Chain A
Amino acid sequence: MAAAEVLPKNATSVRPGRRRFPIEAAQAYLFILPAIVIIGIFKVLPAIAVLYMSLFKWDVIQGAFRGLGNYTDWLYDNSLRSPDFWRSLSTTLTYVIITVPLEIAFSLVIAFLLFQKMRGRGIYRTAYYLPYVTSFVAAAVVFNWLFHPQYGLVNALLGVVGIGPQSWLQEPDGLFAIVASAFGVVLPDWAAGPSLALVVVAIVTVWHYLGYQIVIFLAGLSNISSEYYEAARLDGASERQIFTKITLPLLSPTTFFVFTIATIGALRSFDTVFVLTGGGPLDTTRTVTLLLFKTAFQQAQFGLAAALAFILTLIILLFTLVQFRLVGRRVYYD
């Protein structure tokens, strides 16, 4: 590679043995041209354009230059926008905090069980993977019904154990506040917890991505040499000890990888929230991505939306950089 670059191009015509090189280079450029054009126009240019648009007042058509005005509007300057921003950021982070640990815990344990040689393993795996290929729109139809305040199965099941019906996706009240009020305790607003609606959205999210995380964990598990297990068994370790002292530590790179992927996925989630609640009730499930969508496509404030998109991108980028390093390592040192 290095040698090829050092060679001057006009030298090739003198030496017949090298004649293939400029032809090969020209051909290679032709090979990558379609990808460059598509990715350049629809990925790289827009990523630059979003920064440009964020500096202008831009409601459908480009307006006056605002400098960082759109950013300060979101962060602190505008009494309408900045509460929306901080609230949506808090909603997004809450959503991340609920979904990511649940996804990791469930998928890790299930992957560990599926990894054992047991009967009907294939059927179980397929059952867990199915939600991942199912669209959120279809999933939302079903979950809306399962969590229906009046006709939903979930309320019927709760009724069996003596818990009254809940409004679920239509419930803006916080989870902790609802639980506490069942015991006659009134919690202050800051301790009310995520709205019940957001909890349901999180449950559907975990359901959807579980199979995906299981696949990653299964790949990680199969990379652990069986010698460790055999040695541990010879030393008389219990299954529980094997899991906590061998599987978990050796799996930690995979766990961290799943953590970053799940976090990025949750920061970016749009379809889930949009189809389940549309951001309601009382905006308690309005994540940053939903606020972005509303600002851009319902209020037609493209400049503000671009600034919000850029802020969100910076947050995502932080996690992506971590993930990217991990992917590189997985691929190059496999």
Chain B
Amino acid sequence: MAVAVAYPFYFMVTSSFKDLLDATRNPPDVFPAVLHPENYVEAWNRAPWGRYFLNTIFVSLVVTLGEIATAALAGYAFARMRFPGKNVIFTIFLATLMIPGEATLVPNYVLMSPSRNACLGLPCLNWFDTYQVQIVPFIATAFSIFLLRQFFRSLPNELADAAKLDGAGHLRFLWSIALPLSIPALITVALITFLGSWNAFQWPLIVTTRPDFRPVQVGLSAFRQEAGSSYHLLMAASTFVIAPIVLLFLVAQRYLVQGIARTGIRG
């Protein structure tokens, strides 16, 4: 079973090193007779991959940092601060988890459009073909706030009392004590956010048209059309598109698994 699950990866990598003739042989050779690493160069040169990767890396990093910032601040407020309406606001936050992306897709598309009056009678954002259209809507989720809130709540009260005695305010306590103690939770949030952003497909597909702003997934989708039946090149492109996220996963598998087990979120 494990072999069947892992086989597509093996098939992808070995095919990416074959020439077209070997790649189309059926059943396939277990290993390429002659290695063709130049497939990678050819695939790379046939589409603006450098730009695609730059776009994806930039968007994913900014989304991840933004998400951590908003979630740490809000999660901390909900966990350790007193303010009127806290429970009501928190409940509303949680309720937004129930809104599926399908419900917001069309209105958000209109919101980003260049229309001059479709947004409550006002001009819309005119954000098609930009970075912000792929970043701003995604830098806060109730899910991350919830996760960090749970973690901050579990910090011992003695720490907060000691910090208060030392004259440290909330921001100071959050920055120097709560955040460093929450690194496992932060890594979990970061990984889940980064993974979602790296693999994002539907939204960037509809709000970007030019390679200047398109991410790798949309780029790979376009490359499928362009490369046609050059399957050895397609395999090479697929390999370098998933390689960074697979490497990241291998390094940080523990945190991603913990995050899924703890929260049950499914991308």
Cβ distance B158 to chain A, nearest Cβ, rounded Å: 19
Contacts of B73 in A (CB 8 A): 31-32, 34-35
A43 near B99 (CB under 8 angstroms)?
yes
Q: Mark A136-152, 1 if CB is under 8 A from B, else 0.
A: 11111111011000111
Contacts of B104 in A (CB 8 A): 42-43, 46-47, 50
The prevalent SS among residues of A at the interface is helix
Q: Mark A312-334, 1 if CB is under 8 A from B, else 0.
A: 11001100110110010011000
Choice from A37, A141, A309, A331 contacting B220 with Cβ under 8 Å: A141
Judge whether A237 is part of the interface by a CB distance below 8 angstroms: no
Q: Mark B80-92, 1 if CB is under 8 A from A, else 0.
A: 0111101101000
CA distance A16 to B250 in the complex (A): 54
Judge whether A194 is part of the interface by a CB distance below 8 angstroms: no
CA distance A153 to B12 in the complex (A): 12
Cβ distance B79 to chain A, nearest Cβ, rounded Å: 11
Judge whether B264 is part of the interface by a CB distance below 8 angstroms: yes
Q: Mark A65-90, 1 if CB is under 8 A from B, else 0.
A: 00000000000000000000000000
Q: Mark A249-268, 1 if CB is under 8 A from B, else 0.
A: 00000000100010011001
Contacts of B253 in A (CB 8 A): 126, 129
Judge whether A134 is part of the interface by a CB distance below 8 angstroms: yes
A34 near B242 (CB under 8 angstroms)?
no
User: Which of B89, B106, B253, B267 gathers the greatest number of chain A CB atoms within 10 Å?
Assistant: B106
The prevalent SS among residues of B at the interface is helix
Q: In the complex, which residue of chain A has the Cβ closest to the Cβ of B234? A: A141
Judge whether B33 is part of the interface by a CB distance below 8 angstroms: no
CA distance A34 to B2 in the complex (A): 44
CA distance A216 to B264 in the complex (A): 7
B8 near A143 (CB under 8 angstroms)?
yes
A141 near B74 (CB under 8 angstroms)?
no
Contacts of A143 in B (CB 8 A): 8
Known: A219-B261, A257-B264. A32 touches B78 (CB 8 A): yes
B108 near A42 (CB under 8 angstroms)?
yes
Judge whether A210 is part of the interface by a CB distance below 8 angstroms: yes
CA distance A309 to B253 in the complex (A): 35
Choice from B78, B81, B106, B264 contacting A50 with Cβ under 8 Å: B106
Q: In the complex, which residue of chain B has the Cβ closest to the Cβ of A211? A: B5
Which of these binds chain B: A94-102, A178-186, A240-248, A269-277? A269-277
Judge whether A61 is part of the interface by a CB distance below 8 angstroms: yes
A313 near B102 (CB under 8 angstroms)?
yes
B99 near A47 (CB under 8 angstroms)?
yes
A-B interface, 3 closest residue pairs, ranked by CB to CB distance from nearest: A46-B107, A38-B140, A46-B104
- 19 residue pairs bridging A and B, Cβ less than 8 Å apart: A27-B170, A27-B171, A28-B77, A29-B83, A31-B74, A32-B89, A42-B111, A45-B107, A46-B111, A106-B1, A142-B12, A212-B260, A215-B260, A216-B264, A261-B264, A309-B106, A316-B102, A320-B97, A324-B98
Supplied contacts A129-B256, A309-B103, 9 more A-B pairs, CB within 8 Å: A21-B82, A25-B84, A31-B73, A34-B74, A38-B140, A39-B141, A43-B96, A47-B103, A330-B264
